[in-house]
Amino acid sequence: MAQRFHTLEVAGIRRELPILNVTDELAIAGFIMLGDVELTDACARALAEKVPKETEVLLTAETKGIPLAAELARCLDMKRYVVARKSVKAYMEDAIWVEDRSITTKGVQKLCLDGADKARIAGKNVLLLDDVVSTGGSMKALTELADKAGGKIVGEACVLAEGKAAERKDLIFLEALPLFDAK
């Protein structure tokens, strides 16, 4: 059970985030949008105002980006969005994949797209989307996937830019989130 908390206000919503150790030296504030309809809706509406006008496709990674992508697609009047899956499924045909490293996931994971999603991205202006960007590992993997699928990246967006990611001039985000020393 977390003993420390960080108060976050984003898109007019306030949440108390538990501060959790991820290594012996580093702790992060646990930001979980899954299941939080109020937070997801408010953040999607706020991000919609910042999305590049030329965006044709939203691409996010499984799992935490999915509700945000769904709500942002609604706000932008898009009928679909694309999810990079964490494993190749039996029903996937002509799948492509890349490896991904994230500070919140132990080890290396795969992100993959099937042929139908590749076709949705090919030749389109793609906005990469995630809940939090910290080291940029997941965005790098999404970029590689979009490139393999023939898409053109028009931006990277997230709700929170964690640590040094908040210094990036090319990243679209709503609020900065600090990193913490592990205790």
Q: Mean pLDDT across the stretch 153-172? A: 98
pLDDT at 106: 63
Half-sphere exposure of 25 (CA within 13 A, CB side): 1
Q: Mean pLDDT across the stretch 43-63? A: 97
User: Does residue 102 carry a pLDDT above 80?
Assistant: no
CATH of region 33-176, choose from 3.30.420.40, 3.40.50.1820, 3.30.390.50, 3.40.50.2020: 3.40.50.2020
Among the residues of the chain, which ranges form H helices?
A: 37-48, 66-75, 115-121, 137-149
How much is the mean pLDDT over the chain?
94
User: Does residue 103 carry a pLDDT above 60?
Assistant: no
Q: In what order do the strands lie in the sheet with 125-133?
A: 82-84, 57-61, 125-133, 152-162, 171-177
Q: Mean pLDDT across the stretch 99-116? A: 78
- Local confidence band at 105 (pLDDT 50, 70, 90 cut-offs): low
